A and B are shown apart, each in its own frame.
Chain A
Amino acid sequence: MADELDVLLDKIEDPALRSEIKTQVERVRAKRTFGLAFEDPCRSSTPTAIISQTRAPPEYRSTALRHPAHAPVRLDPAKADATELAGPVFGDDAVTEADADLTRAAHGEAVGQRVIVTGRLLDSGGRPIPSSLVEVWQANASGRYAHQRDQWRGTLDPNFAGAGRALTDDEGRYRFVTIRPGAYPWGNHHNAWRPAHIHFSVFGRSFTQRLVTQMYFPDDPLFFQDPILNSIPDVAARRRLVARYDHDVTEPEWALGYQFDVVVRGPGATPLEDRAHG
């Protein structure tokens, strides 16, 4: 059936219309595969390449009253802002080197496995984005956030605030020293545990590039039951949220190293252009 449909779609002469309809079809197919989404993101495969979630996944309960019911209105690219809305400009004084080391507090060092997390901020053309703010936050080694609303019984660590920021360098690279966060229970479903993760916020150069996401650690056994990671229907896209262990980043007698690149849309790209190669 799918093949027949593809043959029919290829007969549409107008390339713009063909691309538009194919994108819609891919979206529908992506939704159909969602029921199979509790998979190890590194071992399964689905044929679609759609990363944009167009409906709220019921498995993630917090979406129920918050996810808009109406489909978002597609802005005609010709009617979009002529000048790409520039992102905030951050001077070197906005960030100090110490901001990128989460392990050092006033009185001592944070408890846990010390890790180095580094990577590049790129656009979808593979171009590095320099001088851009990267903000991170995370739980401590016990899986506890230093946040008043976190009620999990994990131990608070007075030497770990769990937030950092850095500016990307000329090659778009950032680097944080932190500790590996613990997993924690969150009550979403029976025996629900979030896999260890670090929250990332990046600005890029323009409004369309703004991205907030989460980085995971390889070989985490909790992926299969996490509806947040599995809200991404495409396995290749899910895999891009998992950092890669890199022994060349690991420093002797000091810390384990991980690589995590963040790729945002092209500055002038429309959703259609970018989803076509998502």
Chain B
Amino acid sequence: MAEATDRPGLTPSQTVGPFLHLALDVPGDRVAVEPGSDGSIVVRGRVTDGNGDPVPDGLVETWQIDGRFARCATDARGEWVVHTAKPPAAPTRDGTLQAPHLCVSVFARGLLDRVVTRCYFDDEADANDVDPTLAAIVEDRRHTLVAGGSAVDGYRFDIRLQGDDETVFFDI
């Protein structure tokens, strides 16, 4: 039991609630890389619930291996957008090379804890084909982790919290 005093218990998560905008909706946080600058991309999407209705009071955060971070609250249509750059391919702990991806958190009223997913890119097909995380997902759900579009037109990554075609979420 000595260990218990050395190692404090974890603080549990609680829902972000409907009024997260008061502190977490900071417009500048949507931009990790200035739009139009070299290598910049735009990633947008819509968060929907089990009825397919928009989630108008959520928050989407993107983190990536090169240290870039962005976040955006969803609007009345459930839409969010961030400006960043495509991250480099990065190795796993055992040295396997992964396809470029964003690590994505979604916070919302009705979620006791964030849900975590990954945003891969459809125009990285060769890298995606050998990505060890994508390979571990059953084939008919794998597409939920891949954003369509391109660097020129922008990428689209919709997030379905529940229901038909529910996005794959990870226990990290």
Task: Give me the interface of A with B, judged by CB distance under 8 Å.
Answer: 49, 51-53, 56-57, 60, 62-83, 85-89, 122, 124-126, 135-137, 145-147, 149-150, 161-165, 199, 201, 207-208, 210-214, 228-229, 231-232, 236-238, 240-241, 261-265, 271, 274, 277-278
Contacts and interface: CB of A to CB of B under 8 A. Distances in A.
B129 interface: no
B55 interface: yes
B14 A81 contact: no
Interface size class of B (residues with CB under 8 A): 35 or more
A232 to B, nearest CB: 5
A145 B19 contact: yes
Given A135-B23, A145-B22, A149-B57, A211 B172 contact: no
Interface stretch (B37-45, B91-99, B119-127, B149-157): B91-99
Nearest to A135: B23
Classify the secondary structure of A's interface with B.
loop
A270 B145 CA distance: 22
16 contacts: A65-B162, A67-B161, A73-B171, A79-B136, A124-B8, A149-B57, A163-B23, A165-B23, A201-B16, A210-B114, A228-B112, A240-B12, A263-B8, A263-B11, A265-B10, A277-B4
B137 A73 contact: yes
Given A60-B112, A135-B23, A277-B7, A212 B103 contact: no
Given A70-B169, A199-B17, A85 B63 contact: yes
Contact of B14 (A83, A135, A164, A214): A214
Given A213-B12, A277-B9, A73 B170 contact: yes
